[in-house]
């Protein structure tokens, strides 16, 4: 077993464990903090894939800015203790088993299914693009040309969520 493989499995295990803790915590602040740990573990996986720029963006944008906004909204809404409306018991177990089964089907489809020919890159295409134009340009050019509309829609959705949280908090004051 190579050291890279050991580090990969360590980051993958940390990401899976912290994601599981993120969705099982009742306190929204601790859930958000476990999500930050998950995002840092994903950044470590990006570094192992030799995508340092995406790893830095992961930490700065998601773990930094967006999680600060999430924590701000959680604290603005003053979410207290969990109520009795949380799913638990037989219903919670049933939903958990159903979601685990769906995830297993997806993982098996990814494991045994080959990606379509349109999605596969020729060997060394990313290394050539990074050498020709740099890694930032290789990521930024498609983001602001091909994927501009989804990028803008995502930013509008985040803005709408923030405005909605402020409106909900103002109504209670």
With respect to residue 10, please indicate whether it lies within any of the assigned structural domains. Answer: yes
With respect to residue 86, please indicate whether it lies within any of the assigned structural domains. Answer: no
pLDDT tens digits for 58-107? 888 888 887 777 777 777 776 555 555 555 677 777 887 888 898 889 88
Model-level pTM greater than 0.95?
Answer: no
User: Given this model, what pLDDT does residue 83 score?
Assistant: 56
User: Given this model, what pLDDT does residue 86 score?
Assistant: 52
With respect to residue 107, please indicate whether it lies within any of the assigned structural domains. Answer: no
User: Given this model, what pLDDT does residue 11 score?
Assistant: 93
Max CA distance (Å), the chain: 59
User: Given this model, what pLDDT does residue 44 score?
Assistant: 92
With respect to residue 29, please indicate whether it lies within any of the assigned structural domains. Answer: yes
CATH number of the domain that residue 44 is part of: 1.20.120.1200
User: Given this model, what pLDDT does residue 172 score?
Assistant: 59
The residues of the chain scoring below 50 in pLDDT are: none
Length of the chain: 173
- State the DSSP H helix or E strand holding residue 100, giving kind and residue range, or none if neither: helix 89-112
User: Given this model, what pLDDT does residue 32 score?
Assistant: 84
Q: Please say whether the dihedral angle defined by the alpha carbons of residues 28, 30, 31 and 33, taken in this order, is positive or negative.
A: positive
Asked whether 144 and 151 are in contact (CB, 8 A), the reply is: yes
Cα distance between residue 73 and residue 8, in whole Å: 33
Cα distance between residue 16 and residue 38, in whole Å: 8
With respect to residue 166, please indicate whether it lies within any of the assigned structural domains. Answer: yes
Q: Indicate whether 75 and 139 sit together in one domain.
A: no
Range of the domain at 136: 130-173
**Could you give phi then psi for residue 96, rounded to 5 degrees?**
-65, -45
Report how many domains make up the chain: 2
User: Given this model, what pLDDT does residue 54 score?
Assistant: 85
With respect to residue 24, please indicate whether it lies within any of the assigned structural domains. Answer: yes
Q: Indicate whether 68 and 5 sit together in one domain.
A: yes
């Amino acid at each position: 077993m190579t050291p890279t493989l050991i580090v990969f499995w360590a980051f993958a295990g940390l990401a899976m464990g912290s994601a599981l803790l993120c969705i099982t915590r009742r306190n929204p602040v601790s859930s958000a903090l476990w999500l930050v740990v998950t995002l840092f573990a994903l950044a470590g996986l990006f570094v192992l894939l030799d995508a340092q720029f995406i790893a830095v963006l992961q930490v700065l944008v998601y773990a930094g800015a967006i999680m600060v906004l999430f924590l701000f909204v959680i604290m603005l809404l003053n979410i207290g203790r969990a109520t009795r409306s949380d799913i638990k018991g037989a219903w919670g177990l049933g939903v958990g088993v159903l979601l685990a089964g769906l995830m297993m089907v997806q993982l098996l489809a990814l494991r045994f299914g080959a990606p379509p020919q349109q999605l596969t890159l020729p060997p060394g295409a990313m290394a050539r693009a990074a050498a020709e134009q740099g890694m930032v340009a290789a990521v930024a050019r498609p983001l602001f040309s091909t994927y501009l509309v989804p990028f803008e829609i995502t930013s509008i959705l985040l803005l709408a969520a923030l405005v909605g949280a402020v409106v909900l908090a103002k109504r209670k004051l």
